[in-house]
Amino acid sequence: MVKDAGSPSASKGKQGRKSSSSELTTGESVDDSQDGASVNPRDYVNSLARGLEVLRAFNRTGRKMTVSQVASETGNTRAGARRILLTLVHEGYALTDGKLFDLTPQVLELGYSVLSSKGVWDIARPFIAQLSEEVRESVSAAILERFEVVYVAGTQYHRVISVGISVGSRFPAHCTANGRVLLATRPEEDWDTILENIDLKKMTEKTVTRKSDFRNVLKKVRQQGWSLVDQELEIGLMSIAVPVRNSSGGIVGAINVGVPTIRMTPQQMVDEILPKLLATSENIGASLKAGH
């Protein structure tokens, strides 16, 4: 499961006429003190929301789509979906062969600067790289965003068969080791809401899909402080993860080691990889305390 992020390049937007900080281009008066307030229905931009939903649709499906498929996935009309797709193509965020549309690596620029600017992961990167070199496997770090994990740092160890996940990649939290660690560390009073809303999508024959079983998984992960996922995201892939804590003991994310099943058994992961993973997490935490 190797994903190449590419090198995003910023597209240059068109400059409109200048306006003062207290005036929109329409001449509407703006109260700067309300910038952080909840959105007034008059301020909600439906076209932007529809465009963002199109971007999310590609993330959900992970495939190229026709205009009709995008319309079906997003609830847009076919004409509306077409206009959004053509706008994304024009701005460099999508491409098309005339029938199928797909996103370009330039989409990564929308979130990469936020992910890469997080001080925690700047501090963590050398430790992640050191662990990868020590275990000779790929190591990744992720944060939780609702019911998905978003990868914010990582080092891919290059072998004939390797596991690589690009910064910005997203995967379902329920079937990833990082995701389970991060869900399990949420307050237990939140678990009912989590279980009520999470989609335990079957990714492989091994994926836990019953909510009662998944609650037991969360209990086990919480008790032991780490998670091992054996081929529940993808056949042939195992992953083990532990949480990373900041100076106040709060969870800032999780780090994991991913290994093809042909190289290790689950018990070997626990015996050989877990101690090094826990030590790396502790070292990152200690450095966060020293740096803050």
CATH label of the domain that carries residue 279: 3.30.450.40
Query: Among 85, 103, 121, which residue terminates a domain?
Result: 103
pTM of full prediction above 0.95: no
Q: For the ranges 1-15, 40-54, 211-225, 243-257, which has the lowest average pLDDT? A: 1-15
Cα radius of gyration (the chain): 21
Residue 81 maps to which CATH number? Answer: 1.10.10.10
State the pLDDT at residue 166: 66
If asked whether residues 146 and 60 sit together in one domain, one would say no
Q: Is residue 151 part of a domain?
A: yes
Please state, for a pLDDT cut of 90, what percent of the chain lies above it: 48
- Comparison of pLDDT for 9 and 185, the residue scoring more: 185
Query: Among 57, 85, 103, which residue terminates a domain?
Result: 103
Q: Is residue 89 part of a domain?
A: yes
State the pLDDT at residue 165: 64
Q: CB-based contacts of 288: which residues, under 8 Å, 6+ apart?
A: 120, 123, 245, 246, 247, 252
How large is the average pLDDT for residues 4-32? 38
Average pLDDT value for the chain: 80
Q: Which residue range forms the structural domain that includes residue 96? A: 45-103
Inform me whether the pLDDT recorded for 141 exceeds 80. yes
State the pLDDT at residue 20: 37
If asked whether residues 120 and 77 sit together in one domain, one would say no
